[in-house]
Amino acid sequence: MTPFFSTSSIFSTVFFALGFSVALHAQLTPTYTVNIPVRDGKTLAADVYVPSGCMSCPTILIQTPYNKNLFRLGLPLGTQQNLHASPYNWVVVDWRGFYGSAAAAVAQPNRGLDGYDVIDWIADQPWSNKKVGTWGPSALGGIQYQTAKEQHPNHTCAVPVVAHPHSSYDSYFYGGVLEKSRLQTLDALGYGLSPIVLANPYYSLLWQIAESETWYPADIRIPTLQIGGWYDHNVDKMTDWYQATRTEADPAVRDKQWLLIGPWVHGGTGTAYVGSAAQGELNYANAAFKNDSMARAFFAHYLMGIQNNWESTPKITYYELGKNTWNTSNATTIAIYGNDGLLLNPGQVLSTQPGSGFTSFTSDPANPSPTIGGPTLNPGLDQGPYDQAALDARADVRAFSTAPLAGDVTISGRVKLNLYVQGDQSDADIAVRLADVYPDGRSMLINDGIRRMRFRNGYTKAMESFMVPGQVYPLEIALPFVHYTWKTGHAIKIYLSGNSSTRWDVNLQNGGPMYAPGDTNVADIRIYHSPQYPSKITLPGNNGVLASRELPGGSGVELFPNPATDVLTLKSGGLLPASFEIIDEQGRVQVAGAMHREQVNIAGLNAGVYIVRLLTDNGVVSKVFVKK
């Protein structure tokens, strides 16, 4: 196969890929440099770092396409320039065809066999105790799987970071839409993928072969610690790959596969990286460098033989976004198999109640809605969680939101939208952004997805089907795997638009060939939400709070003043509430009573954000207020 099928993703800035920072003037001098022979007679350039006094030590191997010399600024996992305090030898090798190994280039390299040959060489060195672990993020993680597939007897364990080996059609064409900005980044790094990717925009035999050749969980015969991030574009594939290694890897190591997922981006195109506390516009102090501490414990057990109870570590350690806490599980997946459904309603409301009519917006390829953060990989785009509130002012975006939640809502898995779409052009895209609306008004991005209408039935050429103006079509959009909790007082929100530029290719909407110059057509798009066409969002969870009969749009209920100090006035807008309750940010009822008066004494409440819930025979109305 061609080289691009061997790598799922790339870092473009090695400093952030390594997950640490060092002074630019400082340099770590390799113990020696060497050209390691491989089986076709060529050699791979390597830097070798041997701690002083090491007579027989385990080795950590890093294979990189980003220039081994950059590791002279410092080694990973907290080692930095303290080589002689490290219990490991370090060997850093340039990939065949890259930097110091440029002369070894061949048309179709087998990087797994190159890794095998390098481990062979390491095992023969006098400073080696023959145990070799591998480490590295992104492309440096993908090559670890390829090396593991070759099953060298001295390849002891691996720590792939924000990586998986599986190359697939939807790795490049999510929902049938080219992830344009990431492909541009890969091209800028010298991979030259655009010609072959753009020549294969339909799911075909070529993609089937690529997927088959890069899916090999049964070939994994070593322990792994797989590290990912919820804001990384690889996390969806990583969760599938991890589950497969737990069920299909060699039986001797099926219970020696671990997964760590933190609140992290992919890294490489901004200041955030795997292990940093700051991610986008949010900060996760309790997640800082947990990736390094767990990797050190993993290597200490398998390379050093230290009895540190590593094997009693829960199989999955994952960060609960929203609550911002760490959880663990010994299952093969943390997916929740229950489903909570919310229907789209008029007035851009998400509710359990059926809606009516439709909501419309325009999509103009000449003025597309902007990408604002998310799991991006391009220097021109922000990466990670960012406030989407700027989208609310755009005429080409429509947002649907719940009322402030009366209790926490937790999901784990893939959110799906089943929409009923009508357009006046033969083709269009529907882009979705999932957000958490904070009490202060921020709409923080969780993740996003997209689907091209011509591919609503599937991604092969035979399944391509254009729209007929005036006809309503069902469309399913699946978002990447995520574990998230919307806290009490927050709201669930989705943004719908015809594009998200520049992350995704902008559909010209002319029905012509894709990814070629052409005229642009403005599309008028309708999303139906009626009993006949009940557009909905399905959340992977079991949240009783969503089963309550929330009435849409506040139903005319008013409360004032807001903020309030001592007395809160409630006007029920024609409803006949039976009772009310005031709930704090932790979901605790602070005040409750029969609704026989309009004024409620709140003088005893602490300052903060609260929810008033009016419980009626027709349903429940929730409103937020601030107590000063």
pLDDT digits (tens, 9 = 90+) for 197-254: 999 999 999 999 999 999 999 999 999 999 999 999 999 999 999 999 999 999 999 9
Range of the domain at 521: 340-547
- Within-domain flag for 196: no
More confident residue, 611 or 217: 217
User: pLDDT tens digits, residue range 316-332?
Assistant: 999 999 999 999 999 99
Task: Specify whether 566 is located in the same domain as 542.
Answer: no
Domain CATH number, residue 603: 2.60.40.3080
Q: Which residue in 263, 342, 321, 318 sits closest to 485, CA to CA?
A: 321
Closest by CA position to 169, among listed 207, 134, 139, 122: 207
> How many Cβ atoms are within 10 Å of 92's Cβ, its own excluded?
25
Q: How distant, in Å, are the alpha carbons of 140, 191, 263 from that of 9?
A: 9, 11, 18
Same domain? For 286 and 400 the reply is: no
Same domain, 303 and 370: no
Q: Which residues lie across from 448 on neighbouring strands?
A: 433
In a domain, 208, yes or no: no
What is the C-alpha separation between 213 and 6, in angstroms, rounded? 9
* Residue scoring higher pLDDT (514 or 352): 514
> Does residue 420 lie in a domain region?
yes
Of 303, 329, 355, which marks where a domain is finished? Answer: 329
| Chain mean pLDDT for the chain | 92
Closest CA to 610 of 599, 598, 595, 625: 625
CA-wise closest residue to 329 among 392, 242, 252, 251: 242
Q: How far is CA 101 from CA 5, 35, 123, 190, in A?
A: 20, 9, 21, 14
At 238-267, the pLDDT tens digits run 999 999 999 999 999 999 999 999 999 999
Task: Tell me: pLDDT of 597 over 80.
Answer: no
CA distance 600 to 595: 10
Q: Is residue 335 part of a domain?
A: no
The pLDDT of residue 550 is above 60? no
3-state secondary structure 497-566: ECCCECCCCCCCCCCCCCCCCCCCCCEEEEEEECCCCECEEEECCCCHHHHCCECHHHHHCEEECCCECC
- Minimal CA–CA distance to 416: which of 539, 512, 321? 539
CA distances from 259 to 76, 162, 325, 556 (A): 19, 11, 16, 48
- Claim to verify: residue 507 and residue 558 sit in the same structural domain: no
Average of pLDDT values for 186-206?
93
Q: Does residue 308 lie in a domain region?
A: yes
- Which helix (H) or strand (E) segment is 73 a member of? none
Ramachandran category for residue 489: left, alpha or beta (phi over 0 → left; psi -120 to 50 → alpha)? left
Q: Does residue 183 fall inside a structural domain? A: no
pLDDT tier at 457, thresholds 50, 70, 90: very high
- pLDDT single digits (tens) 418-428: 999 999 999 99
The span from the CA of 430 to the CA of 425, in Å, is: 13
Sequence-ordered strand ranges (E) for 82-185: 89-94, 128-137, 155-161, 173-174, 177-178
Distance between CA atoms of residues 444 and 495, nearest Å? 11
Distance, CA of 396 to CA of 433 (rounded, Å) = 14
Overall number of domains in the chain: 3
Instruction: Mark whether 540 and 556 lie in a shared domain.
Output: no
pLDDT value of position 197: 96
- Above 50 in pLDDT, residue 13? no
pLDDT-above-90 percentage for the chain: 82
pLDDT above 70 for 532: yes
Residues 399 and 427 grouped into a single domain: yes
pLDDT per position as a tens digit, 52-109: 989 999 999 999 999 999 999 999 999 999 999 999 999 999 999 999 999 999 999 9
Helix, strand, coil percentages in the chain from 3-state DSSP, rounded to 5: 20, 35, 45
